């Protein structure tokens, strides 16, 4: 994860200091890319402890098509609470757009199921895309999608995935986002009988919140450690059938966690 740390350092050195929607203020750079070869290890930040359980639960929640925090709560995950209304609703966020994008003539599009079948049927298709950016629904979402679009690519029996993140909270959100899409790449590859290839993360506005600067400095003083390995313990029948205990991570020995307030 050296490349992630290098990007943090570059934002500290060269970032544009600016106001933002939350009122906290950030240092920001635009248009950055990180690449991880998933065959060499699972990209989970080691310079602080990252809570993978929350990440897996959040991804399963997206895949269930959920947009209410109730299911997250049943699984003791609270990361979306600040944005939910009093009934727990977030509006038509990722789960809705991924699994039932409302198209014309009342037709719903299950983009994820369509992606899996397209990867299987036409691995060289250049249309292997899932988008959460639905302009007609943005007004009703608690937060506009940050990781808004991803594309997959098959070569040499390896499935690669590129994710575009328009807005990236480099300290809190991005370690979650990278691990989440690495998991999704493993799952999609397994469903298509392929090996996981590269994960390419592309960030638009890549920012460090001004109340995360000490935490980032603390992290940059630490030596990154070997990446853990991810194993999926069985082959579920479909992308809908994964459960928390299907995932096993070994060799994760991170530095201690570092707390930081989330900007709302
Ligand atoms: N400003 C901001 N940053 C984000 O990363 C973010 C948002 N807003 N809004 C929507 C979601 C919610 N996400 C979040 C929210 C909180 C944490 C967080 O507090 N992480 C803690 C551990 C929390 C836990 O596992 O329970 C951390 O130390 O990483 C992470 C991602 C990512 N997104
Ligand atoms: O998965 C996520 C979700 C959100 N973020 C961050 C990026 C920004 O700091 C905020 C969103 O604010 P906007 O004003 O809508 O850009 O949340 C993230 O990094 N990852």
Question: Per the structure block, which two tokens stand in for 97?
Answer: 């757009």
DSSP the chain: -HHHHHHHHHHHHHPEEE--TTSS-EEEEEEEEEEEEGGG------SS---HHHHHHHHHHHHTT--BTHHHHHTT--TTGGG--TTSB--S-HHHHHHHEE-GGG-EE-HHHHHHHHHHH-TT-S--EEE---GGGGGGSSS--SEEEEEEEEETTEEEEEEEEEEEETTTHHHHHHHHHHHHHHHHHHHTT-EEEEEEEEEEEEEEEGGGHHHHHHHHTSPP----EEEE-S--SSTT---GGGEEEE---PPPP---PPP-
pLDDT digits (tens, 9 = 90+) for 67-104: 999 999 999 999 999 999 999 999 999 999 999 999 99
Q: Is 144 annotated as a binding residue?
A: no
Residue nearest ligand 1's atom 11 by CA: 80
Residue by residue, DSSP assigns 18-35 as: E--TTSS-EEEEEEEEEE
pTM beyond 0.90: the answer is yes
Q: How far is the CA of 167 from the centre of ligand 2 (A)?
A: 5
Of all ligands present, the nearest one to the C-alpha of 82 is: 1
- Please tell me if the CB atom of residue 255 comes closer than 6 angstroms to any atom of ligand 1: no
Between the CA of 176 and the centroid of ligand 2 the distance, in Å, is: 11
Cα separation, 100 vs 92, whole angstroms = 10
Task: Determine which residue's CA is closest to atom 4 belonging to ligand 2.
Answer: 146
pLDDT at 2: 96
ipTM: 0.98
Q: Which residue's structure tokens are 């594309």? A: 151
Q: What is the spatial distance between Cα 198 and Cα 221, in angstroms, rounded to a whole number?
A: 28
Centroid of ligand 1 to alpha carbon of 47 (angstroms): 17
- Mean pLDDT over 155-171 rounds to 98
State the pLDDT at residue 91. Answer: 98
Residues with catalytic roles: 146
Per-residue confidence (pLDDT) for residue 103, from 0 to 100: 93
Q: Is residue 147 part of an annotated ligand binding site?
A: no
Report the nearest-CA residue for atom 27 of ligand 1: 172
- Is the Cα dihedral 211, 165, 162, 118 positive or negative? positive
The tokens for 147 are 């990781």
Instruction: Give the tens place of pLDDT for each residue, 144-155.
Output: 999 999 999 999
Strands 158-169 and 195-209: parallel
The residue whose CA has the least distance to atom 25 of ligand 1 is 51
pLDDT in tens, 175-217: 999 999 999 999 999 999 999 999 999 999 999 999 999 999 9
Spacing, Cα 173 to ligand 1 middle (Å): 5
Atom of ligand 1 nearest to the CA of 259: 28
What is the spatial distance between Cα 90 and Cα 68, in angstroms, rounded to a whole number?
6
108 labelled binding-site residue: no
**What tokens appear for 114 in the block?**
């369509």
pLDDT tens for 122-134 read 999 999 999 999 9
Lining ligand 2 with CB less than 6 A are: 21, 143-144, 146-147, 167-169, 173-174, 177, 263
Output phi, psi for 58, to 5 deg: -60, -40
């Amino acid at each position: 994860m050296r490349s992630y740390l290098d990007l943090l350092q570059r934002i500290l050195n060269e970032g544009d200091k600016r106001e933002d929607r939350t009122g906290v203020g950030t240092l920001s750079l635009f248009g950055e890319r990180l690449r991880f070869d998933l065959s060499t290890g699972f990209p989970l930040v080691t310079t602080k402890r990252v809570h993978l359980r929350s990440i897996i639960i959040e991804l399963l929640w997206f895949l269930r098509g959920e947009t209410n925090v109730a299911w997250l709560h049943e699984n003791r995950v609270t990361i979306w609470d600040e944005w939910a209304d009093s009934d727990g609703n977030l509006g038509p966020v990722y789960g809705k757009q991924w699994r039932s994008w409302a198209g014309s003539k009342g037709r719903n599009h299950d983009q994820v199921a369509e992606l899996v079948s397209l990867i299987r049927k036409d691995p060289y298709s250049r249309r292997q895309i899932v988008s959460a950016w639905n302009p007609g629904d943005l007004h009703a979402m608690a937060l506009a999608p940050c990781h808004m679009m991803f594309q997959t690519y098959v070569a040499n029996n390896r499935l690669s995935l590129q994710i575009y993140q328009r807005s990236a909270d480099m300290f809190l959100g991005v370690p979650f986002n990278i691990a989440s899409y690495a998991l999704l790449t493993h799952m999609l590859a397994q469903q298509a009988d392929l090996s996981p290839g590269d994960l390419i993360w592309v960030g638009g506005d890549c920012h460090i919140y001004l109340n995360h600067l000490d935490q980032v400095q603390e992290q940059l003083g630490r030596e990154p450690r070997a990446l853990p390995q991810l194993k999926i313990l069985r082959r579920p029948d479909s992308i809908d059938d994964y459960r928390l205990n299907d995932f096993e991570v070994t060799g994760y020995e991170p530095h201690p966690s570092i707390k930081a307030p989330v900007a709302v």
